[in-house]
Structure 1
């Protein structure tokens, strides 16, 4: 995809900023001690990251800041939608899994979608951190970054939240379900 398509118009950017600011102010428990103006300045200096945030929003992720890494001077945005984002469901884990299906292929896969959007798929640790801010995926599940040793054997892992607990499961990487997608992370 060329760079021109990865930039928003001023109107689109302003609309996204209004949505992000409203969400930020509504959910201050996710980012205690942080201020919107600092985040906005950092975003304005990174138009490609604005495009990625817009993709997170467009696909139903409801991204919000959950952390500021002082060592790296980075804000961390994560999909904070109650359930795995609607625009990223019914997908298998990665390209290899997608290519291995001979019939009934899903339209896409989590790893390629994340890459196309300019974001990272959450790790199990990041998924668990997100759960500190609420109860996410009580009806859905989300693929998470799978360790190489599991992936080499054909598997992939996903998480959900049931019975006040984060569960980590496995499936064949080629599997896909209407209620399984992925959550993303963007560092700015």
Structure 2
């Protein structure tokens, strides 16, 4: 399965590109001075990245362009769903936490899901950047990439927005809740 090519069928590519274009045009405040035609050209040249965006979409992430890296020429996508992606909720942080969990175990973990989708978890800094583009996770929360020193001690961090403020919290990495998922990023 690891050698499986991650590509979409022609009609699936068209469907994802249409969804992304519509979202792009509807949310211009997220990507001033970026042209959709250039983004689309990059996506059409990167089938595996388009597949990853499709996976983000399927799990409720509503990915959108939030920036452009002038050094690498890459476009940066973040999950921009109002609340944490529904298809990624009720998961613990990573494989180690999942394996240490006593019953009942969650179905999966954030780090494995992200790797399987070909994306990265947002860092705390990226999460804060996302929050400058709108109000996200007003009722839910999202795991974010946890620094090694915290993870080595058994913890993991997550963020949300309450009282017009972005909060960063901690939990045992093995914890999972029906309103906590993760938000991802992808560079194309």
State the TM-score bracket (shorter-chain normalisation): over 0.9
* Alignment: residue pair count: 188
Deviations 1:75-101 (Å, cap 9, x if unpaired)? 000000000000000000000000001
Distance (whole Å) between structure 2 residues aligned to residue 187 and residue 108 of structure 1: 24
Deviations 1:150-180 (Å, cap 9, x if unpaired)? 0000000000000010000000000000000
1:46 maps to which residue?
A: 46
1:56 maps to which residue?
A: 56
Gaps of 5+ in 1: none
* Pair 1:97-2:89 in alignment: no
Distance (whole Å) between structure 1 residues aligned to residue 25 and residue 3 of structure 2: 31
* Pair 1:163-2:151 in alignment: no
2:8 maps to which residue?
A: 8
Runs of 4+ aligned residues of structure 1 deviating over 4 Å after TM superposition are 2-5
1:65 maps to which residue?
A: 65
Give the C-alpha shift of residue 3 in structure 1. 5.3
Distance (whole Å) between structure 2 residues aligned to residue 26 and residue 2 of structure 1: 36
Gaps of 5+ in 2: none
Give the C-alpha shift of residue 23 in structure 1. 0.2
Over the aligned positions, Cα root-mean-square deviation in angstroms equals: 0.8
Give the C-alpha shift of residue 72 in structure 1. 1.1
User: Equivalent residue of 2:125, what SS?
Assistant: helix
2:29 maps to which residue?
A: 29
